[in-house]
Structure 1
Amino acid sequence: MPPVSRPKVESVSPGDLVEYALQGRLRIPSIYQWDRADVTLLFDSILRGYPIGQLLVWQRPATAGTIFVGHLRIEAPAVGDAYWVVDGQQRITSLVGALTATDETVDPRFRIFFDLASESFVALSRLQRPADDQFPMSLVLDTTGTNAWLQARPELSDRQIALADQVIAGVRDYKIPMYIVAGDDDHTLRDIFQRTNTRGNPLTDVEVFGTLLSTDDEKQRGDLHTLGSAVHAFGFGEIPEPVLRQSLLAVGDPARTETALGHVVDFFRDEAGIPHAWLIPHPEYIPVLAIFMAEFGPPRGRAAELLRRWVWRGMVGEPVEDDTVFLRAVHTDPLASAQRLIGLLPALQGWRPDISETRLTHPKAKVNFLGLLSLAPRHLPMGGHRQGEPIDVAPLLEVTDPLVPVLDDSSSLGRGMANHLILPLAEAGDLAERLRWDTFDERVLASHCLDAQFLELLRFGPPHRFLEARAKAVEAVIYRYVQDRALFGFPDGPDVTALLGEDDERD
């Protein structure tokens, strides 16, 4: 038996991990696959004192450069004893990201709050204003900020204040075992990784070590690469490089472009109802919105409403021959710019969904997917989640196509949306049989455009009857969702009520 290289083990707190990150000592592969439910569950486990598993790091030198940990961009110096994270990427990224979030953090997976009313952790987007009794995890390591937050809320009960103190202490004092392997030989490291990396959605040996071993020789990132990494940290997926380049050319300054694209992501996610870049049928709209945000800031009121109409009408319509006309339409003021953008779209009459398309590389399939997504699909009782939990599709789209068929049917209906549900791949096994005979909560069924009658058709009718019935229901859901956002047939001028209000003030 060859000599054994034993790792040393230390106990680290979440605060230690934040300090290591800010010092540039933590080097983490940019592979972040967790959703909001994963992050809130992590904090809940910490508060309850449950074990969350050990960390495994490789202690070795690291060169200077721009590194990313969650939403953080750090100009890291050269470090002789950096911690290259082998096992624990998701947990460390979640903890560091949530504990250092600011008002400008875009990714909702890092905007974690403890709701003192429901006594549970919640994740909020940047456009969702936290309630006065929702304590931000970003203040846990900030005693002065915590005291100011509590003093500004005299309405909190003694129990709520005590509960906030318990959350703070529970996170600050929590200890995580961290195994440290030193030296240049990665044999021991790989052996430990392969024996222990079996929980949740484990990363592969190639994903982890390929990233670690290649990062060491990277040259300093250019503006475009750094911008792409920063935008990817918004949790909205990867924006194609040509689109990033056009956004940078339109706005001009990398920092200003990054800020503008953060507002674009907020707009897509919270105003337009599009949770991931992959689901945008026409990504050439991104630079237009970027210059809009850079010129005017996040849209409000009527301007936001008209921009949403422009995005959705453009999504279901034919692309314009020269999309640069959109860039030239953004000037003067936000409302007039939004009206000009709508006026540049080709006229579209009598639009109906085409539910035959399910390939998510196709614009029509993306519209179909978003229509079904509007029902807020929930997990089935498989795949490691509790039945009824909402599905966060953004992380799923990073690794797989979350459209899964119900029946093995090669007919035209069988290939279309009528035969597909939005689910993680882990919940797709024996789907038709489970729907036929398992018991499901009505709320879960409704979230997938299903009900008891559809299940009866699955059990006792020929497949085409189920598919024909669900096709009508799916088409109605998609049409209604698009119409509610595109508002075909509605006037696109200024808000009449706002104009009346101005007249009243002058009178």
Structure 2
Amino acid sequence: MPTGLDNRPEATTYEVERLVQLAWRGQIRVPHFQRGFRWGRDDVIRLFDSIIKGYPVGSLLLWLRPAQKQRLTLGALSIDAPSMEEALWVVDGQQRVTSLASALHPAGMHDSRFALAYDLREERFVPLPPTTEPNTAPLPFTTEPHILPLPVLFDLPRLLQWFAHHPEVAALQDRAYTLTTILRQHPVPAYLVKQEDPEVLRDIFDRMNSYGKRLSRAEIFTALHAGDESDQEPALTFGVMAEQIDRQRAFGRIDDDTVHSSVLARRGPNVHREIRLEFSTAERQGTIDFPGEDRDTAFRKGEEALLRAVEFLQEDAGIPHFTLLPYRYLLVVLTRVFGHFPNPDPTNRRLLRRWLWRTALLGPEIFRGSTTGAVRQLCGKVRPGDLTGSVQDLLAAVERPIPPLPELRRFRTNEASAKITLCSWWALQPCDPSNGKPFDTSQLADALIDRSTVADAVRYVYPPSLLPTSHRWWAANRLFIPFTEDEVGKNAGHSLWFRPPTMSKKVWLDTLHSHLLTPETAELGRAQNIVPFLQQRQQAITNHLRDFLARMCEWDFEDTPPIDQLLIEDLTDEDDHDTL
């Protein structure tokens, strides 16, 4: 049991410039028991806005202890850190330190959370498109000279070079120099703790992060199974797994609790089991499918299975992004499937797609309305070594009469019915109204950075206030147009009424069709015949949704397993006689 601190914390202050230099040199480390990096781009912007305005940004709690040589990850940065007698281990303040170090370094510009600039004319922080080379550190570039990437604003020699190359904005340079000084010299208070017993620091971390807000199950698991701080390679975490999968598949960031449940599901069907003894073989015998597996192996294999499940969702099931997944527990069950059967045959993959969409359409109500019950029952159907039997049992578990179509008169992007509808729209490859080019998954991912719902990619055709109450929330009044900037998409619906001069008629018709519009409905929209427009488009949406779900659910098909799994017995002599 922790006995308390050996010495009282020492109070000090770091200027931002010194703090990030320490981070870039590898002197700042993150203990394994820490949560993963959780901030999004908006949080990072708020931090820098507070600094520029002179607001306090909170104090740090740093643990002074030795550190071995290792290659560490700090946000967007990969750092070759040397061994040292006194490294600064962040017990509290990881989000702030990581944001400062990543956003102010050129190599951080490849990550959309940290690719930021300051608009000298508008006097505000703005996002930049991330660079494409994560392992290089080029001078960040913008097409507008009054928009300064943060690594330029932070680095005085680069700032001088910037204005030397852009004399047209010389009138703004005094403002830039003032901001540079404020940014570099902003004080960050810190407490330094010298303590040999890591359990004391875990206790401090737990108290600081539990007060007023209970830790999630995933965060408790991470703290309990953090790994050895002496390891040269940092332990894989749920947050890192989510970031790596997002980077590879542009699927959006899966939340830590879903990643945690997915890792547990691969190892055993009961994801709500006691987690404190997860890697104690003696205690878990008979309840874990991989009883001899250590923590690092479990995380690595779990990530591989989760990645395969995401690939299946995107490539087979037509669900391009995490915000469009009707229920998160579906990903947990799929991770168990792909954890035991990494490469299902084509027939079972098709049956899995059928099961997924039937389950999504039925919802957790068939499991007494509980996602907990759904995960427990469905994961229990996946038996190691029997892919065909597992898939057949999954299908049998959701065998019900064909349910009604999702509700289209109350379209809420955070509800499963809207997500199902949007997946059917994505199957049409919705096109950019300005050029007729289909949007791709990377554009969708860019539009939804740091977003927990797909709302920012779904535009109103008419402001709801203009619609009768009975039609105000119809799906027909929404368009799936994932622009990255809100101002670009404000008039996206109205731009479909007219064919751009540079667009051929065929491309325009294809673009209309990709949004379930026809020239006739476009004419109604152009003439502001709102209710007839909505009624016609709502009918088109209904017809398309019915066809989409018929293809995905294949209600009228037999759930026949692969032919090579069928047992065909030879006819006996008696059988031969009977057939004559």
Q: TM-score when scaled to structure 1?
A: 0.59
Query: Which residue, 331, 344, 350 being the options, matches 1:305?
Result: 350
Give the superposition deviation at 1:497. Answer: 8.4
- Within 5 Å, which residues of 2 pair with 1:75-224? 84-86=101-103, 91-93=109-111, 179=152, 181=154, 192=176, 224=222
Give the superposition deviation at 1:435. Answer: 3.4
Task: Provide the rounded CA distance (Å) in 2 between the counterparts of 1:181 and 1:309.
Answer: 53
What amino acid sits opposite 2:254 in the alignment? I
Give the superposition deviation at 1:308. Answer: 0.8
Task: Provide the rounded CA distance (Å) in 1 between the counterparts of 2:480 and 2:425.
Answer: 8
Change in Cα spacing, 1:404 to 1:432, as seen in structure 2 (3 Å) is closer
- Within 5 Å, which residues of 2 pair with 1:469-480? 469-480=536-547
Equivalent residues of 2:262, 2:331 under 8 A apart: yes
Give per-residue Cα distances to partners, 1:104-155, cap 9 Å, x unaligned.
xxxxx99x9xxxxxxxxxxxxxxxxxxxxxxxx99xx9xxxxxxxxxxxxxx
Say if 2:479 is the partner of 1:404: no
Any idea what SS the aligned residue of 2:496 has?
A: helix
Partner of residue 515, structure 2: 448
- Within 5 Å, which residues of 2 pair with 1:16-415? 67=73, 84-86=101-103, 91-93=109-111, 179=152, 181=154, 192=176, 224=222, 226-235=237-246, 236-252=251-267, 253-319=298-364, 320-321=366-367, 322-323=373-374, 324-331=376-383, 332-349=385-402, 351-381=404-434, 388-391=437-440, 392-397=443-448, 398-399=450-451, 400-408=455-463, 409-415=467-473
Give the superposition deviation at 1:300. Answer: 2.9
Partner of residue 463, structure 1: 530
Give the superposition deviation at 1:291. Answer: 1.7
Task: Provide the rounded CA distance (Å) in 2 between the counterparts of 1:501 and 1:74.
Answer: 61
Equivalent residues of 1:26, 1:84 under 8 A apart: no
Partner of residue 4, structure 2: none
Give per-residue Cα distances to partners, 1:385-428, cap 9 Å, x unaligned.
x6525153233233353221112324433411111101233333
Deviates more, 1:368-377 or 1:386-395: 386-395
Say if 2:477 is the partner of 1:419: yes
Any idea what SS the aligned residue of 1:231 has?
A: helix
Change in Cα spacing, 1:89 to 1:434, as seen in structure 2 (3 Å) is farther
Give the superposition deviation at 1:76. Answer: 9.1
Any idea what SS the aligned residue of 1:421 has?
A: strand
Equivalent residues of 1:86, 1:193 under 8 A apart: no
Number of residue pairs matched by the alignment: 370
Equivalent residues of 2:348, 2:391 under 8 A apart: yes
Q: Which structure has the larger Rg?
A: 2
Partner of residue 152, structure 1: none
Structure 1 unaligned spans of 5+? 8-19, 34-61, 95-108, 113-136, 142-171, 184-190, 197-204
Any idea what SS the aligned residue of 1:427 has?
A: helix
Deviates more, 1:422-431 or 1:466-475: 422-431
Structure 2 unaligned spans of 5+? 1-14, 18-22, 31-35, 42-61, 90-96, 113-128, 142-150, 157-174, 194-200, 206-218, 224-236, 268-297, 368-372, 571-580
Give per-residue Cα distances to partners, 1:244-296, cap 9 Å, x unaligned.
33323333422222221111111112111112222222212222222212212
Deviates more, 1:467-476 or 1:316-325: 316-325
Give the superposition deviation at 1:305. Answer: 0.9
What amino acid sits opposite 2:266 in the alignment? V
Give the superposition deviation at 1:433. Answer: 4.1
Task: Provide the rounded CA distance (Å) in 1 between the counterparts of 2:38 and 2:336.
Answer: 28
What amino acid sits opposite 1:403 in the alignment? V
Q: TM-score when scaled to structure 2?
A: 0.52
CA RMSD of aligned residues (A): 5.1
Change in Cα spacing, 1:353 to 1:89, as seen in structure 2 (3 Å) is farther
Task: Provide the rounded CA distance (Å) in 1 between the counterparts of 2:27 and 2:334.
Answer: 34
Partner of residue 45, structure 1: none
Partner of residue 562, structure 2: 495
What amino acid sits opposite 2:302 in the alignment? T
What amino acid sits opposite 2:491 in the alignment? D
Any idea what SS the aligned residue of 1:358 has?
A: coil
Any idea what SS the aligned residue of 2:252 has?
A: coil
Change in Cα spacing, 1:264 to 1:181, as seen in structure 2 (3 Å) is same
Any idea what SS the aligned residue of 1:401 has?
A: helix
Change in Cα spacing, 1:24 to 1:67, as seen in structure 2 (3 Å) is farther
What amino acid sits opposite 2:309 in the alignment? V
Any idea what SS the aligned residue of 1:84 has?
A: helix
Give the superposition deviation at 1:90. Answer: 6.8
Equivalent residues of 2:26, 2:79 under 8 A apart: no
| Percent of pairs with identical residues | 20
What amino acid sits opposite 2:457 in the alignment? P
